[in-house]
Amino acid sequence: MTELLKISLPDGSVREMAPGSTPADVAAAIGPGLAKAAIAARVDGELVDLSRPFSGDAQLALVTARDEADALELARHDYAHVLAEAVQALWPGTQITFGPATDDGFYYDVMAPASREPFGMDDLPAIEEKMREIIQADKPLTREVWTRQQLIDKWTADGETFKAEWAAELPAGEELTVYWSGRDWLDMCRGPHLPSTGKLDPQAFKLMRVAGAYWRGDQKNAQLTRIYGTGWLNKKQLNEHLTRLEEAAKRDHRKLGREMDLFHLQEEAHGSVFWHPHGYVIWRELEAYMRRAIDDAGYREVKTPQVMDARQWEQSGHWGKYRENMFVIPDEVPNTEDEGAIVSGDAEWMALKPMNCPAHVLIFRQGIKSYRDLPLRIYENGCCHRNEPHGALHGLMRVRQFTQDDAHIFCREDQIVAEVRAFCELADRIYKDFGFTYSIKLALRPEKRFGSDADWDKAEDELRNAVIEAGLATEAYGWEELPGEGAFYAPKLEWHLTDAIGRTWQVGTIQSDRVLPERLDATYVGEDGEKHRPVMLHRAIFGSYERFIGILIEHFAGRLPVWLAPVQAVVATIVSDADDYAKDAVARLKAAGIRVESDLRNEKINYKVREHSHAKVPHLLVVGKREAEEGTVAIRTLGEQQQKFMSLEEAIAMLKAEATAPDLR
């Protein structure tokens, strides 16, 4: 008699199933409702197709649409395949390459046939319609195992040169799979997939845009067309997402940066920001705020060089792990003649610093440090450069030159938990001052890393315990552990801020590092008179000033709190008879520390109101002949319908209170 398989379910029950049975068979045995609702399965933790036979006894969890993370991943993967099938159905001869799921949808890279131009936005409606046809046809998605040679032969015969190239590089001994859509279209894929195209909602996706993409990401290779879409489980989710995108577009910091005259970027300095006077006011306010915070917390501010010898980066480990993101320069005077190479190629190499950590270790190493000197908290508004690809640059959010609110705490082993806890409390206060809610994540050891497992165990436990002691390792703070996402030298805590429209931004971090002090030979003299290694805590709260300002602009939709607003008030006249009073009001407001401007132009007041509202000025103080005679102002506050009337003295007091940074109130 054939021995039955024991399939353990999440409720603790065990189902005995015949060999060759599948998760779909288990779902059917439990009941028709579950059989209809199930879309995939987790077998021993691995997400697999419902039709995948069990290989032995197993733990089984059936996946339905209620398991939203898994369901979205599956749906988006399937939308990508349906997209590729639709494009090839509409334009035979189209070559397909790859199409993964993304955070909010999917894309597929394709090459149009020689008979037509590359695909463009005008093609998207027809592709969408064809995708809906494929979905409504409810075509079964069936997995098959093929040999590498079968794949090569198939793609070569079909003229799929990109797929054939990729198939030829696959390991010969690995299980290679394809998925059929019905029996008339297939793609090479690891899976898993939904049982059929009909499990997708034909009204829950939308193709968004097209872009150029190089085969395998190399600009030396053929250029393809990348078709992007967004995909969801139902139309309601899609509509909510499109509304968020519409709101995000209104809040785009690049658009608002132009309208508010804050900054600009241009090709002559790829990835570096030109800050205008109004934009730099925001920067200076943040810098002053952070200085007060770190001074109160016992940090000592330093300034370190921009360029350091490559040997220093070799010793720190960054040269081997991070060199592709570094700007390197030869240590020589360039050739000034018209003929010959600009640099010889024989010089020693130096590099612009991509981070501040090694320089802070060098400061720590100056002079003998005692255990009594620890913890030593070193802070720097450190300007760094990273060689990001041009295509990855994005306004203030992804730049090449940036300034970090960077600090490193050198401490003893017995001080780590207390220092991390103090940092958690400092970060909590600062984020709340800006009106953010946040979640905390612990990023654990990556596969490629420096240091022993024992050191990693200790470092991870210290960070975990500090958050627990601070009372933040709770569901309310979104506490979560992220396997494999730590830095190569240390685990880290991450702060993920939630903005006004529900997006999350990873900003703050603290990392517990025993590797860099070892590599750069940092020591202190312990109570026993012997040398010991300090532990180095890497930490930041804003992350970078550029990105944090971008997040603030989008979070507040440009309507920054009064204390951060570049212009906090404008005094605008209705008639020229009030010009002298307006000038006096401006002088008194400036004397009170308010950033104020006057608008005495011969324009209608409604025009002035619209213009200054567009520039996101928090308060407009309107004055006419009557206000000049009475010593009053009419205040129009951004976002409010009704204006308020008060004396100039009352207006100055109100503005002074609002213009005071939250830590000084």
Q: Show the 3-state SS of 269-294.
A: HCCCCEECHHHHHHHHHHHHHHHHHH
CB atoms within 10 A of CB 211: 12
Catalytic one of 76, 318, 441, 538: 538
Q: Which residues contact 243 (CB under 8 A, 6 or more apart)?
A: none
**Integer Cα distance of 368 and 350 in angstroms:** 28
The per-residue pLDDT for 87 is 98
Are the C-beta atoms of 622 and 578 separated by less than 8 Å?
A: no
Single out the catalytic residue among 357, 384, 411, 424. Answer: 357
CB 623 within 8 A of CB 574: yes
Contact 538, 357 (CB under 8 A): yes
| pLDDT tens digits, one per residue of 13-22 | 999 999 999 9
| Token pair of 98 as six digits | 């790859």
Query: For residue 545, what are its two tokens?
Result: 């000033």
Which residues on adjacent β-strands are paired with residue 64?
Answer: none
Q: Which pLDDT value is given to residue 182?
A: 95
Nearest to 270 by CA among 147, 409, 138, 385: 385
- Closest by CA position to 86, among listed 184, 172, 20, 170: 184
In this structure, what DSSP letter does residue 398 have?
B
432 noted as active-site residue: no
208-264 tens-digit pLDDT? 999 999 998 888 899 999 999 999 999 999 999 999 999 999 999 999 999 999 999
Q: Which of 312, 404, 415, 511 is catalytic?
A: 404
Q: Which residue has the tokens 């279209």?
A: 185
Pairing outcome for strands 569-573 and 619-623: parallel
Output DSSP code: residue 394: B
76, 130, 386, 445: the active-site residue: 386
Percent of the chain with pLDDT strictly greater than 70: 100
Does the pLDDT value for residue 579 go beyond 90?
Answer: yes
Nearest partner of 245 among 230, 258, 256, judged by Cα: 230
Residue type, 360: H
Question: Which residues on neighbouring strands pair with residue 635, listed in sequence order?
Answer: 621, 644
Which amino acid makes up residue 342?
I
Q: Per-residue confidence at 126, pLDDT binned at 50, 70, 90?
A: very high
CA distances from 540 to 182, 373, 512 (A): 53, 22, 13
| Chain position carrying tokens 């339905």 | 64
Please calculate the CA angle 507-465-528 and round it to the nearest 5 degrees: 110
- Clarify whether 59 is annotated catalytic: no
Q: Token pair 């993304």 is at which residue?
A: 102
Taken as a whole, the chain contains a residue count of: 665
Give this prediction's pTM: 0.82
Q: What backbone torsions phi and psi does residue 614 show, to the nearest 5 degrees?
A: -60, -35
pLDDT band at 110 (very low <50, low <70, confident <90, very high): very high
What is the predicted pLDDT for the residue at 17? 93
135 exposure class (CB count in 10 Å sphere: 0-12, 13-18, 19+): buried
| Region 540-547 average pLDDT | 96
Identify the pLDDT of residue 2: 64
Q: What is the DSSP letter of 195?
A: S
104 catalytic residue (yes or no): no
Distance of CA 183 to the CA centre of its chain: 40
Burial of residue 303, with CB atoms counted within 10 A of its CB: 0-12 exposed, 13-18 middle, 19 or more buried? exposed
Tell me the per-residue pLDDT of 592-625, one tens digit each, with 9 for 90 and over.
999 999 999 999 999 999 999 999 999 999 999 9
Write the DSSP symbol of residue 406. Answer: E
Answer whether residue 379 shows pLDDT above 80.
yes
Tokens matching residue 446: 């990556």
**Does the structure show a pLDDT above 90 at 390?**
no
pLDDT of 431 strictly over 90: yes
Q: Which candidate in 254, 492, 532, 547 is catalytic?
A: 492
Evaluate the CA torsion angle 598, 601, 602, 607 in order and state its sign. negative
Give 347-414 as a 3 state SS string: CCEEEECCCCHHHHHHHHCCCCCEHHHCCEEEEEEEEEECCCCHHHCECCCECCEEEEEEEEEEECHH
Q: What is the pLDDT of residues 182-218, one digit of tens each?
A: 999 999 999 999 999 999 999 999 999 999 999 988 8
3-class DSSP state of 376:
strand
C-alpha–C-alpha distance, residues 664 and 539, integer Å? 24
Categorize the per-residue pLDDT at 322 as very low, low, confident or very high, splitting at 50, 70 and 90. Answer: confident
Burial 14-53 (b: 16+ CB within 10 A, else e): ebebeeebbbbbbbeeeeeeebeebbbbbbeeebbbbbbe
346 confidence band (pLDDT: 50, 70, 90): confident
DSSP code for 261: T
* Averaged pLDDT score across all residues of the chain: 93
Are residues 629 and 623 in contact, defined by beta-carbon separation less than 8 angstroms? no
* 408 is a catalytic site residue: yes
User: Does residue 525 contact residue 540 with C-beta atoms inside 8 Å?
Assistant: no
Pull the structure tokens for residue 43.
């077998």
**In whole angstroms, what is the distance from residue 520 CA to residue 326 CA?**
19
532: annotated active-site residue: no
How many CB atoms neighbour CB 374 within 10 A? 21
Please state the three-class secondary structure of 482-509 as a single string.
ECCCCCCCCCEEEEEEECCCCCEEEEEE
Q: Which of 109, 406, 428, 499 is catalytic?
A: 406
325/313 Cα distance (integer angstroms): 12
Tokens of 51: 């039709």
Residue 6 appears among annotated catalytic residues: no
Q: What does the alpha-carbon distance between residue 100 and residue 76 come to, in Å, rounded to a whole number?
A: 8
149 is catalytic: no
Contact assessment for residue 247 and residue 256, using Cβ atoms and an 8 Å cutoff: no
From the list 408, 441, 539, 616, the catalytic residue is 408
